[in-house]
Amino acid sequence: MEPTIQEIQKAQGTRLSEVAPWESYDAELSGPKMTPELAAQVAAYAESRYEDAPVSSESQEVLAESQEINEDIAKQYQWLDPKDYADIEARIGRVHDHKWLINGLRSLGKTVFYREHPHADKLTLLYARNSNADLEVACWVQYGQMPELSIMNFDRYGAPLAERRRGWRTVLLQLILKSIITEEEANRVFGQPRTDPAFDRYNSLVKAFRLADLGVTE
């Protein structure tokens, strides 16, 4: 089934807002020297921090009473199917690290940098569309080794909780949906995606975005 426009918008993430609230920026981790203007932007970003809001707790009685309702809501609103993520081995694919990823992006002439993320196992990917542009958040990247496709965690209702390990193709998908790179650039530098079932969601989202960008509906 082809993804809806709402699914595409959700996958676009921070493209729909100026700055993702869960991202923060600290000392430079890698990459070429920044211009004074970019360095000043990083310093300004570093002043803004995000802390997870405390999670409210409900009594066991209330949770028990609302379990059936919650399950129905999850079925209505989830757009990630656990079955699509069940074959972990197929999703691991070609394993690469964060340095390989950013080097590939730079080979395309993209101005990209990593910054420290509040979570030690993640990095924040920043980009500038040109030398005079403001820094923007692209997305977060898994620190160290990355599977090709993301490995997900789901709750007992089958609703997605978080990425257990973000895949490098998930990063490419974010960059394509935010028009930071093109589908052609991604395929040329990082290789064509496979066409087996594990890649169905990636391929369908890229296709839907391509058609939407061309003003074509199916």
Q: Any idea where the domains of the chain sit in the sequence?
A: 5-47+62-213
pLDDT category of residue 168 using cuts at 50, 70 and 90:
very high
Residue 128, both tokens:
């500038």
Query: What per-residue confidence (pLDDT) applies to 197?
Result: 92
Task: Answer yes or no: are the C-beta atoms of 171 and 141 closer than 8 Å.
Answer: yes
User: What span, in angstroms and rounded, lies between the C-alpha atoms of 95 and 64?
Assistant: 42
pLDDT digits (tens, 9 = 90+) for 176-218: 999 999 999 999 999 999 999 999 989 999 999 998 877 655 5
pLDDT digits (tens, 9 = 90+) for 80-100: 667 777 778 999 999 999 999
User: What span, in angstroms and rounded, lies between the C-alpha atoms of 36 and 144?
Assistant: 29
pLDDT digits (tens, 9 = 90+) for 24-67: 333 334 445 555 555 555 555 444 433 333 444 544 555 444 45
In the chain, % of residues over pLDDT 90:
44
Cβ-in-10-Å burial (0-12, 13-18, 19+) of 64 comes to exposed
Q: 196: how many CB neighbours lie within 10 A of its CB?
A: 11
User: What span, in angstroms and rounded, lies between the C-alpha atoms of 206 and 214?
Assistant: 12
User: What span, in angstroms and rounded, lies between the C-alpha atoms of 169 and 23?
Assistant: 20
pTM: 0.64
